[in-house]
Amino acid sequence: MEQPVLLEMRHIDKVFPGVRALSNVDFTLRAGEIHSLMGENGAGKSTLVKVLTGVYQRDGGTISLLGKRISPKTPKEAQEAGISTVYQEVNLCKNLTVAENIFIGREPRKHGFIDWATINKRAAELLDSLGVHIDVTKTLDHYSVAVQQMIAIARAIDIEAKILILDEPTSSLDEQETQQLFRIIRMLQKQGLGIIFISHFLEQIYELCDHITVLRNGELVGAYEVEKLPRLELIAKMVGKDLNAVKHMDDFAEKSVPQEEVFLEADHIGEVGQLADVALKLHKGEVVGFAGLLGSGRTETAEILFGAHQPTKGQLKVKGKPVQFGSPMGAMRERIAFCPEDRKTAGIIGDLSVRENIILAMQAKDGMFHHIPYSKQVEIADKYIDLLKIKVSDRDQLIKNLSGGNQQKAIIARWLATKPELLILDEPTRGIDVGTKTEIQKMAIELAKKQGMAVVFISSEMDEMTRTCSKLMVMRDRRKVAELTGDEVNSENVMRAIAGGASS
Amino acid sequence: MRGVKKLANDMIASPYFSFGVTVLLFAVLYGTGVAMYKGFLRPQVFFNLFIDNAALIIVTVGITFTLIIVGIDLSVGAVLALSCMVLAWLLANTAVPVWAAVAVVLLMGIVIGAAQGYIITKFDLQPFIITLAGMFFCRGMTAVISRDTIQITNETFTAIASYRIPIGDLGFVSVGAVLALIVLAIAAVVLGFTKFGRAVFAIGGSESSAALMGLPVFRTKVIVYTISGFCSALGGVAYALIMLTGYNLHGLGMEMDAIASSVIGGTLLTGGVAFIPGALFGVLIQGVILTFISFQGTLSAWWTKIVVGALLCVFIVMQALITEQKARLSKKSSMGEPPEKAKPGLAG
Ligand SMILES: Nc1ncnc2c1ncn2[C@@H]1O[C@H](COP(=O)(O)OP(=O)(O)OP(=O)(O)O)[C@@H](O)[C@H]1O
Ligand SMILES: [Mg+2]
């Protein structure tokens, strides 16, 4: 039994200065369908969504909703037509309370005035149903990106809608939050909503979706049923190569073998209320993974190593001599670089060009008044644009006009450009397409092997950790619970350590 | 020990912290006045603050709307002067009744504000530049109407100007002061309890987010500047009630006083944060200083500016510190949460 067609987009064109973001794209969504849009970073997924929701005006094509032609000029019109959206970039206001962020624009009113009591009550109930238990009367800037993402989702699912669009909603959520979200999505599906779900996590696509539309370079590759499209074929379609080429994409070079010399040693460091106890040696040429659940202290450890926090106990040593960073600048002088997890909100400076964003950390390290010649800047920028396959129309393009994934690549490039001896990558592959994901993993290994760099790799995806790292530090409850090296590095051991079982 | 620290942190993070400081400062200044000069204790001295500053209060309310959306309206002083002038001219040279003259002036303010808002929003231009142009335009127009002072002799108008509204036996306030209080109350309700008001704050927080959330950004911004224009014109009427003249140099530099009052009252120039009662106290603090000087008798009135300048610096620094403190706190609270939630995930 075919469900009725909800949405039909035909021959959609969208041109930005210098790029053809969409050309002649068709997209069909039926009621009760969870439909994924797939494609590499910069393929045009978000653009298609934004054309549909009136953020951008299309340059050609037609959109019909339940058989009726629509042309939303603003997100407001789209929302009124029954399209509710969580955009890839966080679209909430930090100065407003959590509750207000959920209800703004559709506030319940009493005697014509906003009924704050009801808003707060309903917001709390709604978030409870999503498994988020927080004080909804606090302003949004009190909460982490993951919580903000849940709030954005709560807002979108509470809006009366026929179509729900989620553009990379899970990129900052943990496993449990993701499952919670999936439950709700399935519930909405049963109510007959059409759902568009975008993600670079293939497992999630295969777990949740029933249809996939693949885009490549702004063009439609095709629309498929999930059962009839095995993973490898999907990847092949996304990257535009044939099946055999893709098959070997995951073949990994040997892991890097650590050198004798220790670059950085953390001698039982801790910080009151943040981190209990971590003892760790980072050798040159070693890729070390920090494993553990969200909130287990991985990020906190990394932040201490980068001088963003000061340890209240223990001692850090760089190449054997005790150091006290005092600030990230101090760590940067010791040639430590940190690519933060929270790239969605922190990191990019939208109104600067890609080139300027890439050389930013280098510039900061050298001092603001040290001039880096333009030709040198161009050379560096081009090198990393090429290395990380950052999709730009030109290196002087404003970074805010890049696709979300490509912005993240530029941030990684920024830290690579400082030529560090220790590179800390916190969730470097979140929001990055499958092809580039493996490239980044390979790159981490290469850097360790060829340049003797020490690399810290933090990720919630177990297989990427076990594939990349020569050593794994497992954390639980803000302390180190196990260290796995060599053959011990496998997901089973990690799981056991996290769950509290005995391990070496 | 930790409890005290936490309390202090909570206080600083509270949205009313800045307002509390402002009120406290006002109380201290007023208390000092009372301690030093006997006359300060008379309730009428307090009421006079409202009477003398009615126009500034109204204008400050208007400019606060624009500051919330990270805009600015530099034309308020000039619109105020133009309003006084048009009012005086109409009453002196035509037979229109007072209510009609006032209506014309208010309508003019609305049109000027809406025009500026439309240009700023439609073409995405700097509010600083557009309202600067508006300021020159309005000052110029004022001079075109008359280079000399026009006295307002209309009987109805002078009667309204000198009308005293008693407050028990304590003293009295003027019609202008009552207007100012009404404007304050309406603004506080509009900003706190209407969709429009909340959209204003959302735009101040992040204009792009507000648009993506489906808020009517364009309309809201135009209305904000329209409100500022309206308040400037109404401020002009209140000003005329005190001065009883139209004059080209009325309200010179008033935009700066208004911005200062708003900032001292807790408005963040980075947008998205303001508190209307705070803005009132911002004005009152300036008023108290002026009262001081008049009681003291020998100091120049310019001391008000000097003190206000110093206060502004202090308050801006304080705001920066609060923002920083808040950022630190928020980091903690976000990290404080995940473990409780994360535990059951894999262990179970
Ligand atoms: N506002 C803009 N101005 C100019 N170019 C833009 C703009 N927005 C997007 N683009 C370009 O359009 C192309 C498609 O971008 P889009 O954001 O749709 O990619 P995406 O498929 O969502 O990628 P990702 O997986 O990284 O989010 C990119 O090449 C991008 O540089
Ligand atoms: Mg995107």
Coil vs helix vs strand at B197: helix
Question: Do both A236 and A301 map to the same domain?
Answer: no
Instruction: Give the count of beta carbons closer than 10 Å to the beta carbon of residue B109.
Output: 30
End residue of a domain, out of A203, A224, A249: A249
Angstrom distance (rounded) from CA A193 to CA A186: 10
**pLDDT(A200) > 80:** yes
What amino acid is encoded at A285 in this protein? G
Helices within B171-269 (DSSP H only): 175-193, 195-205, 207-212, 217-243, 254-264
* DSSP H or E stretch at residue A19: strand A19-30
Question: Do both A308 and A390 map to the same domain?
Answer: yes
Contact criterion met (CB < 8 Å) for B345 and A477 = no
> Min CA distance, A365 vs chain B (Å)?
23
Angle between helices A354-366 and A374-387 (to 10 degrees): 120
| Residues β-bridged to residue A65 | A7, A68
Question: Do both A85 and A194 map to the same domain?
Answer: yes
Which of A92, A443, A338, A230 has its CA nearest to residue B214? A92
Task: Indicate the DSSP class of residue A55.
Answer: S
From residue B209, give the alpha-carbon distance in Å to each of A54, A145, A196, A477, B205: 14, 15, 20, 35, 8
Angstrom distance (rounded) from CA A46 to CA A166: 10
Coil vs helix vs strand at A262: strand
Compute φ and ψ for B120, nearest 5 degrees.
-60, -45
Q: Do the beta carbons of residue A20 and residue A59 sit within 8 Å?
A: no
Whether residue A276 lies inside any domain: the answer is no
Long-range Cβ contacts of A102-106 (<8 Å, 24+ apart): A102/A126, A102/A127, A102/A136, A102/A151, A102/A154, A102/A155, A102/A158, A103/A155, A104/B198, A104/B199, A104/B202, A104/B213, A104/B215, A105/A76, A105/A79, A105/B195, A105/B199, A105/B213, A105/B214, A105/B215, A106/A159
Domains of chain B (ranges plus CATH)?
20-29+45-338 (1.10.3470)
pLDDT score recorded for residue B3: 66
pLDDT score recorded for residue B331: 55
Shortest CA distance from A293: residue in chain B: B342
- Its sign, for the CA torsion A76, A78, A84, A89, is negative
Whether residue A62 lies inside any domain: the answer is yes
Question: Do both A151 and A62 map to the same domain?
Answer: yes
Contact criterion met (CB < 8 Å) for A94 and B205 = yes
Residue A372's pLDDT band, with cuts at 50, 70 and 90, is confident
Coil vs helix vs strand at A500: coil
Instruction: Give the count of beta carbons closer than 10 Å to the beta carbon of residue B180.
Output: 28
Which tokens sit at B74?
């530099």
User: Kindly report the CA angle at A388 between A387 and A389, in degrees rounded to 5?
Assistant: 95
The residue-averaged pLDDT of A54-78 equals: 94
pLDDT score recorded for residue B121: 96
Query: Residue B310 burial by CB count (10 A; 0-12/13-18/19+): exposed, middle or buried?
Result: exposed
- Its sign, for the CA torsion A278, A279, A285, A286, is negative
Q: Is the CB of A39 under 6 A from ligand 1?
A: yes
Which tokens sit at A9?
């987009």
Angstrom distance (rounded) from CA A350 to CA A40: 21
Which of B278, B206, B275 has its CA nearest to residue A104? B206
Q: For ligand 1, atom 27, which residue shows the shortest CA distance? A: A404
Contact criterion met (CB < 8 Å) for A95 and B272 = yes
Residues of chain A with Cβ-Cβ distance to B194 below 8 Å are 113-114
* DSSP H or E stretch at residue B17: helix B17-36
Compute φ and ψ for A201, nearest 5 degrees.
-85, 105
SS (H, E, C) A160-212: CCCEEEEECCCCCCCHHHHHHHHHHHHHHHHCCCEEEEECCCHHHHHHHCCEE
Q: Do the beta carbons of residue B108 and residue B82 sit within 8 Å?
A: yes
End residue of a domain, out of A199, A233, A249: A249
The residue-averaged pLDDT of B10-26 equals: 81
Question: Do both A492 and A389 map to the same domain?
Answer: yes
Q: Which of A22-31, A244-253, A289-298 shows the highest mean pLDDT?
A: A22-31
DSSP A325-346: -SSHHHHHHTTEEEE-S-TTTT
Query: Residue A123 burial by CB count (10 A; 0-12/13-18/19+): exposed, middle or buried?
Result: buried
Q: For ligand 1, atom 18, which residue shows the shortest CA distance? A: A44
pLDDT score recorded for residue B311: 85
The residue-averaged pLDDT of A10-33 equals: 94
Q: Do the beta carbons of residue B52 and residue B294 sit within 8 Å?
A: no
> How do residues B22-55 score in pLDDT, each as one tens digit?
899 999 999 999 999 988 889 999 999 999 999 9
Q: Which percentage of chain B shows pLDDT scores above 70?
A: 90
Contact criterion met (CB < 8 Å) for A295 and B338 = yes
Helices within A311-403 (DSSP H only): 328-333, 354-366, 374-387
Residue count of chain A: 504
Q: Which of A305-309, B24-28, B74-78 shows the highest mean pLDDT?
A: B74-78
DSSP A456-491: EEE-S-HHHHHHH-SEEEEEETTEEEEEEEGGG-SH
> How do residues B118-146 score in pLDDT, each as one tens digit?
999 999 999 999 999 999 999 999 999 99
End residue of a domain, out of A204, A230, A249: A249
Q: Given its phi and psi angles, is residue A356 left (phi above 0), alpha (psi -120 to 50 degrees) or beta?
A: alpha
Q: For ligand 1, atom 25, which residue shows the shortest CA distance? A: A41
Q: Which residues contact A401 (CB under 8 A, 6 or more apart)?
A: A16
Whether residue A356 lies inside any domain: the answer is yes
Whether residue A69 lies inside any domain: the answer is yes
Of A139, A147, A500, the CB nearest to B334: A147
Does residue A253 or residue B194 have the better pLDDT?
Answer: B194
- Its sign, for the CA torsion A392, A398, A404, A405, is positive
The residue-averaged pLDDT of B175-204 equals: 96
Angstrom distance (rounded) from CA B168 to CA B164: 12
pLDDT score recorded for residue B328: 67
Residues of chain B with Cβ-Cβ distance to A146 below 8 Å are 338
pLDDT score recorded for residue B317: 86
pLDDT score recorded for residue A342: 64
The residue-averaged pLDDT of B83-109 equals: 96
Q: Do the beta carbons of residue B131 and residue B73 sit within 8 Å?
A: yes
Residue B335's pLDDT band, with cuts at 50, 70 and 90, is very low
Which tokens sit at A169?
């909603």
pLDDT score recorded for residue B151: 95
> Min CA distance, B206 vs chain A (Å)?
6
Question: Do both A217 and A310 map to the same domain?
Answer: no
Question: Do both A58 and A146 map to the same domain?
Answer: yes
Instruction: Please report where in the chains the tokens 């982490």 appear, as a residue.
Output: A144
> Min CA distance, B257 vs chain A (Å)?
26
Helices within A84-129 (DSSP H only): 98-103, 116-129
**Nearest ligand to residue A45 Cα:** 1
Residue A370's pLDDT band, with cuts at 50, 70 and 90, is confident
Q: Is the CB of A213 under 6 A from ligand 1?
A: no
Shortest CA distance from A107: residue in chain B: B195
Whether residue A12 lies inside any domain: the answer is yes
From residue B141, give the alpha-carbon distance in Å to each of B85, B136, B138, B230, B336: 9, 8, 5, 17, 60
**pLDDT(A344) > 70:** no
Angstrom distance (rounded) from CA A497 to CA A475: 8
The residue-averaged pLDDT of A204-223 equals: 94
Whether residue A342 lies inside any domain: the answer is yes
Q: Is the CB of A43 under 6 A from ligand 1?
A: yes
Angstrom distance (rounded) from CA A62 to CA B105: 49
Long-range Cβ contacts of A137-140 (<8 Å, 24+ apart): A137/A97, A137/A98, A137/A99, A138/A97, A138/A98, A139/A94, A139/A95, A139/A96, A139/A97, A139/A98, A139/B15, A140/A92, A140/A93, A140/A94, A140/A95, A140/A96, A140/A97, A140/A98, A140/A101
Residue A185's pLDDT band, with cuts at 50, 70 and 90, is very high
pLDDT score recorded for residue B336: 36
Q: Which of A346-350, A475-479, B336-340 shows the highest mean pLDDT?
A: A475-479
pLDDT score recorded for residue A438: 85
Question: Do both A390 and A437 map to the same domain?
Answer: yes
The residue-averaged pLDDT of A91-95 equals: 90
Question: Do both A209 and A70 map to the same domain?
Answer: yes
Give me ligand 2 centre to Cα A405, in Å: 7
Angstrom distance (rounded) from CA B240 to CA B109: 15
The residue-averaged pLDDT of A428-443 equals: 84
ipTM of the complex: 0.87
Out of A15, A51, A402, mutate this one to test ligand 1's pocket (max ligand atoms within 8 Å of CB): namely A402
- Tell me what the pLDDT averaged over chain B comes to: 89
Q: For ligand 1, atom 17, which residue shows the shortest CA distance? A: A403
The residue-averaged pLDDT of B282-298 equals: 88
Question: Do both A226 and A336 map to the same domain?
Answer: no
> How do residues A115-169 score in pLDDT, each as one tens digit?
999 999 999 999 998 888 999 999 898 888 888 889 999 999 999 899 999 999 9
Coil vs helix vs strand at B43: helix
Long-range Cβ contacts of B319-324 (<8 Å, 24+ apart): B319/B18, B319/B263, B319/B268, B322/B12, B322/B13, B322/B17, B322/B18, B323/B268, B323/B270
Residue A66's pLDDT band, with cuts at 50, 70 and 90, is very high
CATH code of the domain in which A209 resides = 3.40.50.300
pTM: 0.86
The 3-state DSSP composition of chain B as helix, strand, coil percent (nearest 5) reads 80, 5, 20
**pLDDT(B245) > 80:** yes
Whether residue A265 lies inside any domain: the answer is no
Shortest CA distance from B326: residue in chain A: A142
**pLDDT(A63) > 60:** yes
**pLDDT(B62) > 80:** yes
The residue-averaged pLDDT of A166-174 equals: 87
**pLDDT(B210) > 60:** yes
- Tell me what the pLDDT averaged over chain A comes to: 88
Angstrom distance (rounded) from CA B206 to CA B275: 18
Cα distance from N-terminal residue to C-terminal residue, chain B? 38
**Nearest ligand to residue A20 Cα:** 1
Give CA torsion, residues B225, B230, B234, B240, to 10 deg: 80
Q: Which residues contact B65 (CB under 8 A, 6 or more apart)?
A: B187, B191, B200, B224, B227, B228
> Min CA distance, A404 vs chain B (Å)?
16
Q: Which percentage of chain A shows pLDDT scores above 90?
A: 40
From A133-137, A413-417, B252-256, the region with the lowest mean pLDDT = A413-417
pLDDT score recorded for residue A58: 94
Q: Which residues contact B59 (CB under 8 A, 6 or more apart)?
A: B76, B77, B80, B231, B232, B235, B251, B254, B255, B258
pLDDT score recorded for residue A456: 93
Whether residue A107 lies inside any domain: the answer is no
The domain in which residue A348 lies consists of 285-314+330-457+476-499
Question: Do both A301 and A237 map to the same domain?
Answer: no
pLDDT score recorded for residue A250: 66
Angle between helices B276-296 and B43-68 (to 10 degrees): 140
**pLDDT(A486) > 80:** yes
Question: Do both A231 and A379 map to the same domain?
Answer: no
pLDDT score recorded for residue A351: 84
pLDDT score recorded for residue A253: 66
Residue A502's pLDDT band, with cuts at 50, 70 and 90, is very low
Which tokens sit at A356?
């300027």
| Residues β-bridged to residue A14 | A22
**pLDDT(B82) > 90:** yes
pLDDT score recorded for residue B168: 87
Q: Is the CB of A34 under 6 A from ligand 1?
A: no
Could you give the number of structural domains in chain A? 2
Q: Do the beta carbons of residue B73 and residue B116 sit within 8 Å?
A: yes
